[in-house]
Chain A
Amino acid sequence: MMNNGVDDLQSQLDRRNKEIEIIEKVASQINKNLDLEKIATTMLVSMDRYFDFKHSMILLLDQTESFLKVIATHGYKDEGIGAEVEIGVGIIGVVAKKKKLMRMANIGSQRRYMQTIKKQIELKDKAETKKEIHLPGLANAESQVAIPMLMEDELIGVFAVESDKVNIFDKSDEMIIRILANQTASALQNAKLYKLEQKRLEELDRAHAELAELNANLEQKVLGRTQELVELSTKLAKYFSPQVYESIFSGKLDVKIQTQRKSLTVFFCDLQGFTQLTERLEPETLTELLTEYLTEMSKIAIKWGGTIDKFIGDAILVFFGDPETKGKKEDAVACVCMALEMLDRLEELREIWLQKGFTKSLKARMGIHSGVCTVGNFGSEDRLDYTVIGNGVNLAARLETNAEPNKILISEDTYLLVKDDVKCLKSKEISVKGLSYPVQSYEVSGFSSNSSLYSSKLIKSIPGLSLQFDPDEIEDNERAMKLISEVLSRLV
């Protein structure tokens, strides 16, 4: 009797050892694997091979967490992959819901018992009962063990083993299934995470590649665009007075209809006799002439800090005091200096033109007035013109038309600002529309000798004769006079 007991225990122990060996083997096999389906199938096949579990399946919890889906089966005619089990329905559904193992030994008789009760209830209480539910697995299953696969208390799926034989699974079967189910759970979870990780890495790689490409393209695009803009702004710059252009570019001047009343000195100038010339000259010659004239006058205007408002044919409008100002007096003086230099330069140009064959002598008339004008962006929303308007502008224009050829006529207001630096002769009174009183005008004759602008230097040249006269440099007055006499005697 004793021996039988010991033998019994021994065989139990042997069985247990064998089981552990097998479990280890199976576990190592599935843990090596990162493929979801492979893990599941390996597990089920091993269950049959080592433990004689002929019918088994693995279900995974769907993302919506409301049902389970069959991902692997073993021992069924119809594989049934993809079949769904609702949480809470049937043995598998309830195991998923309660997250607890369940072992049933006589499903058939239990269901028959339930049917009887159902009929009784239907007859007695006339209560509404639902139809029988069709579930994946053996239709005539009698024994079943279903285990929830948990990872850190979270349900990831259910592992189920069944048989058509009654009471075929015992407690030790339960234990083996439990161990292997847990192994499967962690292997599946790893596989799932691995898959996710792969996907993430792929997405990341793709995003990186896209970004790199975008960056490369972007650099190119930016360079290209910048080049375009530089070219464009260089072209546009030519249509503006440098100061206005600078103001727009730097952002100081806002490109919208905006005007201010400011103290300005306004300068008008045109060429007498130009209109007749336009009829007589070839277009190319005329263009050449005009371009030369305007270019030279512009250079001088820019040099003295004036804002070139516009060219109207041969007429030039320049104003001082906007966008930048050096002060009312300084602006007015600068304007007169500019006008005087322009007259000098025009004299030189006349010589050059004469050489080229333009017999008609072009003389300039200039008018300058200082006063409050409205300056800024005028026009419509789509088309702006940076210019100056007001009575002061009209007066400057009137002064210009009243000026003698090659002379500068200034208003009293300007005279009062420049009289310390500039010598003037009182001239006529001019009546201007819009002003109730006539305006006293003055003719500019030159710099006053005590002005810092006064230059005693004289630089003149005509073809065949160049004269550079700087009285401060002459050491021997006698010798200078002798030189000039010599030239004079040869000319007369």
Chain B
Amino acid sequence: MPANSFEKTNMIENQHLPALEGMFPSWITTSSDSGEPNTTVISQIWFVSATEVALSFQFFNKTKKNISQNPYAFATIVNPNSFDMYNLELEYNRTENEGDLFDEMDMKLEAIASMSGMSGIFELKGADIYSVLSITKII
């Protein structure tokens, strides 16, 4: 296979899973209504299903603001084993405040926060669910 080839799919597959465990940080790019882009680093993009991923919502930041105006986002994830990088095209779908996914996110956050003495300060406000439009392997 040539070095810089692009493989594009629209469903999450086995090879993508290790990249969705928060081993390496991911970065997410959003843009405002007027087209102004913003990129930020996040600790983890969560696997929801073959067609969905989730981001944890703790603070109301630029990313959240942009998404409220323009639901499309662009994210990059890294497989910690192979160092493969993937670009994801995402569309914001909904925010969940309860359920298994929310609980899983909440537990992880709570565990780390309590260890650092940040209980109650760093709280999960919701799980933002995005539809996966495409996944492209880069590198």
Contacts and interface: CB of A to CB of B under 8 A. Distances in A.
Contact of A114 (B18, B22, B107, B122): B122
A114 B108 contact: no
Interface string A91-121: 1011101101010111101110111011001
Given A90-B111, A104-B111, A167-B23, A98 B116 contact: no
Contacts of A166: 23, 80
Contacts of B118: 114, 117-118, 129-130
A88 B114 contact: yes
Q: Which of B81, B103, B112 has the most CB of A within 10 A?
A: B112
Nearest to A93: B114
Interface in A160-198: 166-167
Interface string B1-33: 000000000000000001001110100000000
A105 B43 contact: no
A106 B23 CA distance: 6
Contacts of A115: 116
Contacts of A110: 22, 43, 108, 112
A131 interface: yes
Contacts of A135: 115
B96 interface: no
> How many A residues touch the partner, as a band?
20 to 34
A332 B21 CA distance: 118
Contact of B23 (A91, A98, A105): A105
Contacts of A118: 116-118, 121
A94 B107 CA distance: 6
B103 A100 contact: yes
A121 B116 contact: no
B4 to A, nearest CB: 24
A290 interface: no
Contact of A102 (B80, B107, B113, B117): B107
Nearest to B21: A105
A109 B104 CA distance: 18
A95 B21 contact: no
A91 B111 contact: yes
Given A102-B107, A104-B108, A105-B21, A121 B114 contact: no
Contacts of A167: 18, 21, 23, 80-81
> How many B residues touch the partner, as a band?
20 to 34
A34 to B, nearest CB: 34
A280 to B, nearest CB: 113
Contact of B22 (A89, A91, A106, A131): A106
A90 B114 contact: yes
A177 to B, nearest CB: 17
B111 to A, nearest CB: 4
A136 to B, nearest CB: 12
A106 B80 CA distance: 11
A81 B18 CA distance: 35
Given A90-B111, A98-B107, A167-B80, A114 B21 contact: no
A127 interface: yes
B110 interface: yes
Nearest to B113: A114
Contacts of B43: 109-110, 113
A236 B116 CA distance: 87
Contact of B110 (A88, A105, A113, A121): A88
Interface string A417-455: 000000000000000000000000000000000000000
Contact of A133 (B23, B80, B104, B115): B115
A132 interface: yes
A114 to B, nearest CB: 4
Contacts of A111: 112, 115-116
B16 to A, nearest CB: 15
Contacts of B116: 111, 114-115, 118, 132
A119 to B, nearest CB: 11
B122 to A, nearest CB: 7
A102 B108 contact: yes
29 contacts: A88-B119, A89-B114, A90-B114, A90-B115, A91-B115, A93-B111, A95-B111, A98-B103, A98-B107, A102-B111, A105-B22, A106-B21, A106-B22, A109-B25, A110-B22, A110-B108, A110-B112, A113-B43, A114-B112, A114-B115, A117-B118, A118-B116, A118-B118, A127-B121, A129-B118, A129-B121, A133-B117, A166-B23, A167-B21
Interface of B: 18, 21-23, 25, 43, 80-81, 103-104, 107-108, 110-119, 121-122
Interface of A: 88-91, 93-95, 97-98, 100, 102, 104-107, 109-111, 113-115, 117-118, 121, 127, 129-133, 135, 166-167
Given A94-B111, A118-B117, 17 more contacts: A88-B110, A89-B115, A91-B111, A91-B115, A94-B110, A98-B107, A100-B107, A102-B107, A105-B21, A106-B23, A109-B23, A109-B25, A109-B43, A113-B25, A118-B116, A130-B117, A166-B23
Interface pairs A-B: 3 shortest CB-CB: A130-B117, A91-B111, A94-B111
